[in-house]
Structure 1
Amino acid sequence: MSHTDQEIIENTQIWLEKAVIGLNLCPFAKAPHVKGQIRIAVSHAKHLDAFLEDIDAELQKLLTTPAEELETTLLVHPDLFDDFLQFNDMLDLADRAITDNQADGVIQIAPFHPEFQFDGTEADDISNYTNRSPYPTLHLIREDSIEKAAQAFPDPAVIFERNMNLLREMGHDGWDKLGIPHVSGCPVAHNREKN
């Protein structure tokens, strides 16, 4: 079922507000959200090359826009990466786009996917939900934002552990009651792990 851009943005907003901010999975997300500094961009690329061009365009937008206007971007593609492993394989190319756009040390990319799965976990393990979003999503985040967040939370592992404990307490029933299309957490709180 295809969604309109407005539906995609609204579902992403629900996830952001109820899971990421509402449950404080990412303690750094509330301020830019309240200030209207989070951009949700929807890609309609038909193939990988076109999606990489969309990544380039969003990186350039971040690089040329002051952080006071645009702090971070969520680049969402509703249907190009249904398969999580295919999405995971694309991440190396996305990271290469950072270098190609001279954004090393300036911007990082964090991945979110409806079927996100950490290495060594079962598909239905609740811990995977820290990186689950309604649609395949790349979070383009400024390194300065990560550094500022690190001052408040010098040990990101504490956030990750807190999130794991919260998820285990809530369980799948707890998530279902929240009415979140899918859930995710904080890109700063842990390193990407590949399957």
Structure 2
Amino acid sequence: MSRSDSALAATRSWVEDFVVAHDVCPFAGRELRREAIRYVGVAADDWPATLTTLIEECRRLDGAPDIATTLLVLTSGVEDFDDYLDLLAIAETLLIDQGYEGTYQLASFHPDYCFADTDPGDPANFTNRSPWPMLHLLREADIERALAHYPDPEEIPERNIAVMQRLGRMPLAEQLAALRHSRDRT
């Protein structure tokens, strides 16, 4: 299995066995059942090529209402969290420059994700930790529609933090590591 195939398989498992299983995103299960999540592997060693792929995915979403979201899985090049944050900042600026502000937004996930002013060992960081670095491209209109029908959407982050705290850092780290490597052996 290639590195890209392994990263995509691990990401699919993470969506099913972590995001949906722990209800981290209360809307992901519906999109998973509809098979409306697009997974794209890209090496981020060449940032201009990575950013070109991001804009291509925006254009794909423009013309494909059956795709709810794209997970751009970064298979190499941004293993360091600070490098990833630099790429994320450029990607967010690029979306604005390309006229996608208000149309799409990026959610960010990385194996070493750490919220500002948070201890790296805090289980709350696992709300944004994933087996592989990724840029999650979402339609803002879909988010607004989903939130309009969800009771107390402002409580989602607090609920997720409470779930991660209850599960604990070591079990979460073990689950994430298992997800990343489970498909490497197939």
TM-score in terms of structure 2 length: 0.88
Query: Cα offset for 1:177?
Result: 5.6
Kindly provide the CA deviation profile for residues 28-74 of structure 1, in whole angstroms up to 9, marking residues without a partner as x: 111111111100000134321111111111111111212xx211000
8 Å CA contact 2:147–2:153 kept in 1: the answer is yes
Query: Cα offset for 1:102?
Result: 2.1
Q: Which amino acid letter does the alignment assign opposite residue 110 of structure 1?
A: A
8 Å CA contact 2:74–2:134 kept in 1: the answer is yes
Q: Indicate the residue corresponding to 2:30 in structure 1.
A: 31
Query: Cα offset for 1:152?
Result: 2.5
For 1:78, what is the secondary structure of its paired residue? strand
Gaps of 5+ in 2: 182-186
Q: Indicate the residue corresponding to 2:153 in structure 1.
A: 156
Q: Is 1:21 the counterpart of 2:20 in the alignment?
A: yes
RMSD across aligned C-alpha pairs, in angstroms?
1.9
Q: Which amino acid letter does the alignment assign opposite residue 59 of structure 2?
A: Q
Kindly provide the CA deviation profile for residues 83-104 of structure 1, in whole angstroms up to 9, marking residues without a partner as x: 1111112222111221233222
| Counterparts of 1:154 and 1:110, CA distance in 2 | 21
TM-score in terms of structure 1 length: 0.84
Identity between Structure 1 and Structure 2 (%): 34
Map 1:112-191 onto structure 2 (within 5 A): 112-153=109-150, 155-175=152-172, 176=174, 179-181=178-180
Q: Indicate the residue corresponding to 1:106 in structure 2.
A: 103
8 Å CA contact 1:127–1:167 kept in 2: the answer is yes
| Counterparts of 2:4 and 2:145, CA distance in 1 | 32
Q: Indicate the residue corresponding to 1:70 in structure 2.
A: 67
Name which of structure 1's ranges 145-154 and 113-122 shifts more when overlaid on structure 2: 145-154
8 Å CA contact 1:55–1:97 kept in 2: the answer is no
Could you say if the C-alpha distance between residues 82 and 45 of structure 1 is closer, same or farther in structure 2, counting changes exceeding 3 Å?
closer
| Counterparts of 1:21 and 1:55, CA distance in 2 | 24
8 Å CA contact 1:78–1:135 kept in 2: the answer is yes
Query: Cα offset for 1:128?
Result: 0.5
| Counterparts of 1:33 and 1:97, CA distance in 2 | 28
8 Å CA contact 1:106–1:142 kept in 2: the answer is yes
Gaps of 5+ in 1: 183-195
For 2:43, what is the secondary structure of its paired residue? coil
8 Å CA contact 2:44–2:76 kept in 1: the answer is no
Q: Indicate the residue corresponding to 1:46 in structure 2.
A: 45
Q: Which amino acid letter does the alignment assign opposite residue 62 of structure 1?
A: L
| Counterparts of 1:46 and 1:85, CA distance in 2 | 14
Specify which structure has the higher proportion of helix.
2
| Counterparts of 1:74 and 1:133, CA distance in 2 | 11
8 Å CA contact 1:40–1:75 kept in 2: the answer is yes
Name which of structure 1's ranges 102-111 and 132-141 shifts more when overlaid on structure 2: 102-111
| Counterparts of 1:13 and 1:112, CA distance in 2 | 14
Could you say if the C-alpha distance between residues 154 and 177 of structure 1 is closer, same or farther in structure 2, counting changes exceeding 3 Å?
closer
Query: Cα offset for 1:154?
Result: 5.8
